[in-house]
Amino acid sequence: MLAQQRQAAILDRVRAAGGVRVTELAAEFSVSDMTIRRDLEALADRGLLAKVHGGATTVSPGSAHEPGFTAKSVRERGEKAAIAMRAAALVSPGDAIALSAGTTTAELAQRLVDVPALTVVTNSIPVADVFYRAGRADQTVVLTGGTRTPSDALVGPVAVAAIGALHLDMLFLGVHGMSERAGYTTPNLMEADVNRALVEAAERLVVLADHTKWGTVGISSIVPLARAHVLITDDGLDGAARELLSETVPELVVVNPQ
Amino acid sequence: MLAQQRQAAILDRVRAAGGVRVTELAAEFSVSDMTIRRDLEALADRGLLAKVHGGATTVSPGSAHEPGFTAKSVRERGEKAAIAMRAAALVSPGDAIALSAGTTTAELAQRLVDVPALTVVTNSIPVADVFYRAGRADQTVVLTGGTRTPSDALVGPVAVAAIGALHLDMLFLGVHGMSERAGYTTPNLMEADVNRALVEAAERLVVLADHTKWGTVGISSIVPLARAHVLITDDGLDGAARELLSETVPELVVVNPQ
DNA sequence: GCGGTACTGTTCGAGTGTGTTCGAATTAGT
DNA sequence: ACTAATTCGAACACACTCGAACAGTACCGC
């Protein structure tokens, strides 16, 4: 494989998943850690991604509000991966599902590309990209319309209207915060609108939220905690929160990242 | 084997695999590395691939197979540029316009990123990308929803419905073929639907078509020739066609590339 | 025959990419 | 707060790749 191709592939992965680890990439491409570091450095020099300890993340251009991909997000990748893995188990061949925008759902998308006859609706360009690149003829990917946010989500009345005409088996919703009072929240008003439309369009709501989301409150509420049918989180969640959630959400799934 | 044939074969391989190594090709065609390098250089000079250390890759890894992107199309690049330049002159600050999918409209998009307060509706991910990368706060870019075609256009009922709710000053429509009998055509049934919806949503229709489109008939008609308010083409168009078009289309603009 | 042109192969010094080692820096665990 | 485990980047060695220059071959028109 050419160095150039490897770098392009790395960039794709960063864009799709929000972050990558050096060791992961080294194993995947069968090269040394040093080579991956040099690739990341080259890409970072061109401003295409941001190097952080342990790997790299997408460069978040001036989006101070969006709790963007900092070094932290690379560390949390293990948790997100575990959550995504568990969520993927809920999907069966032939299902029609929706995926919201977010790094966790992008991670989930990568684990769903092999599910036969899947229909996927999403407002996230990176998520749509994951399926598109897989190029399976038996899968249908519908991108909602709308205007683009800094995090590559499509929002606005066009997106809401497009979703309103659809009906789906299941929605996998990635959120930026969850709390007892505010429910599931996001830092973007328009994105909350779209997410609410997705919730309405889906039979079942599966929320994906690692433990760091607990206590975080974004400016805009999507739906109350109890509206989710399933909440998948990780075991970093403290006991009190776990108890509260297990009483509020019909099905609370706590995964153990390794 | 002729050098020409070898270069064509190399191009095929690059397109199919996304990238090739010099040493691989040298072994396959039983020629020296130097010869392969010279082939790659010749192809790169024509913009058909990108040379990288160790081999070559497709010029834009990610954007899929452009139809008939042969050596000929390089000459057409100047024509497309001239057409796009002329089309850009029709746009004023504050306009709300639509751009269909296609290479010519993508070219036009690049010339519109500096127009203040522009609102752009498009079903082409690459076109949306052009504006998004420019990142002007005073411009609004709306991507229609839908499923993705191999040429990165969004099509289907979702796209048609999204467009149905919008009203625009002007549509710039790139077509794959035009003929007296079939009108403006495209090779993709679903894309024709979307294009027709765009035509309905726009006050004025500006068709962009270089002279090679004349006589080409795609499987699906969009609208008759006379439906366009303006047709912009280049001076490679033969006299008979030019006469016919000038009698059919309200305004025929023939640009001169260079 | 001759000269011209296009294509190819060889040689060689410079450039580029990769893996390894190792000490410093950062992070995780208790 | 301290220690153990990762991770980082600089430096080096090695292999591969590059392009320029030169030389050889084949084909063409005259």
Q: Containing H/E element for A38?
A: helix A33-45
CA distance A88 to A208: 11
CATH 1.10.10.10 boundaries in chain A: 3-64
A136: exposed, middle or buried (C-beta count within 10 Å: 0-12, 13-18, 19+)?
middle
- Nearest nucleotide from residue B54 CA, by C1' atom: D17
* B236: contact with A, CB 8 A cutoff: no
Give the model's pLDDT for residue A111.
Answer: 85
- Average pLDDT along chain A: 87
> Has residue B69 got a pLDDT over 50?
no
CA distance B14 to B49: 8
State the Cα angle at A13 between A9 and A228, rounded to 5°. 160
What mean pLDDT do residues B105-118 have? 88
B151, closest residue in chain A (CA to CA):
A132
Name the closest residue (CA) to the C1' of nucleotide D7: A54
Give the model's pLDDT for residue A79.
Answer: 79
Q: What is the pLDDT of residues A223-241, one digit of tens each?
A: 999 999 999 998 888 888 8
Give residue B172's pLDDT band: very low, low, confident or very high (50, 70, 90): very high
- Nearest nucleotide from residue A6 CA, by C1' atom: C17
3-state secondary structure string across A118-146: CEEEECEHHHHHHHHHHCCCCCEEEECCE
CA distance B121 to B139: 11
- Average pLDDT along chain B: 86
Give the model's pLDDT for residue B32.
Answer: 92
pLDDT top residue among B51 and A12? B51
> Has residue A65 got a pLDDT over 50?
no
Give residue A220's pLDDT band: very low, low, confident or very high (50, 70, 90): very high
Q: What is the token pair recorded at B192?
A: 């024709």
Contact A140 B147 (CB under 8 A): yes
B159, closest residue in chain A (CA to CA):
A145
Least confident range of A67-81, A109-123, A197-211, B176-190: A67-81
CA distance A6 to B205: 43
Distances (CA, A) of B77 to A240, B71, B104: 64, 11, 9
Give residue A151's pLDDT band: very low, low, confident or very high (50, 70, 90): confident
CATH topology of domain B3-57: Arc Repressor Mutant, subunit A (1.10.10)
CA–C1' B41–D25 (A): 22
Domain A3-64 has CATH 1.10.10.10: yes
Q: What is the pLDDT of residues B120-155, one digit of tens each?
A: 999 998 888 888 877 788 889 999 989 988 778 899
Give the model's pLDDT for residue A75.
Answer: 63
| Contact between residue B89 and residue B110 where contact means Cβ atoms under 8 Å apart | no
CATH 3.40.50.1360 boundaries in chain A: 76-255
* B128: contact with A, CB 8 A cutoff: yes
Q: What is residue A47's DSSP assignment?
A: T
CA distance A237 to A179: 12
Give residue B203's pLDDT band: very low, low, confident or very high (50, 70, 90): very high
| Contact between residue B181 and residue B110 where contact means Cβ atoms under 8 Å apart | no
What mean pLDDT do residues A197-208 have? 96
What mean pLDDT do residues A199-207 have? 96
CATH class of residue range B72-255: alpha beta
> Has residue B248 got a pLDDT over 90?
yes
Q: What is the pLDDT of residues A152-188, one digit of tens each?
A: 899 999 999 999 989 999 999 999 889 999 999 998 8
The CA dihedral of A40, A46, A50, A56, to the nearest 10 degrees, is: -20
* Residues 6 or more apart in contact with residue A165 via CB below 8 angstroms: B157, B158, B161
User: In chain B, pLDDT over 90 holds for what percent of residues?
Assistant: 53
> Has residue A121 got a pLDDT over 90?
yes
* B133: contact with A, CB 8 A cutoff: no
* A140: contact with B, CB 8 A cutoff: yes
CA distance B38 to B106: 31
A150 — phi, psi (to 5°)?
-60, -25
Give the model's pLDDT for residue B4.
Answer: 83
Sign of the alpha-carbon torsion through A34, A39, A42, A48: negative
CATH class of residue range A76-255: alpha beta
B21, closest residue in chain A (CA to CA):
A2
Give the model's pLDDT for residue B258.
Answer: 59
Scanning B135-248, the segments in alpha helix (DSSP H) are 157-164, 189-201, 239-248
Give the model's pLDDT for residue A1.
Answer: 82
- Cβ contacts (< 8 Å) between B53 and chain A: which residues? 2-4
Give the model's pLDDT for residue A74.
Answer: 67
Distance from CA of residue A207 to its chain's centroid?
Answer: 11
Q: What is the token pair recorded at A24?
A: 């992961």
CA–C1' A28–D8 (A): 20
CATH 1.10.10.10 boundaries in chain B: 3-57
The CA dihedral of B60, B66, B70, B76, to the nearest 10 degrees, is: -90
Q: Strand C: which residues have Cβ below 7 Å from it?
A: A 3, 6, 31-35, 38-39, 53-54, 71, 75; B 3-4, 6, 30-35, 38-39, 53-54
Q: What is the pLDDT of residues B42-55, one digit of tens each?
A: 888 887 888 999 99
Q: What is the token pair recorded at B97?
A: 């316009």
Give the model's pLDDT for residue A106.
Answer: 86
Q: What is the pLDDT of residues B147-165, one digit of tens each?
A: 988 778 899 999 999 999 8
CB contacts < 8 A (A, B):
87
Give the model's pLDDT for residue A130.
Answer: 82
CATH 3.40.50.1360 boundaries in chain B: 72-255
- Nearest nucleotide from residue A55 CA, by C1' atom: D7
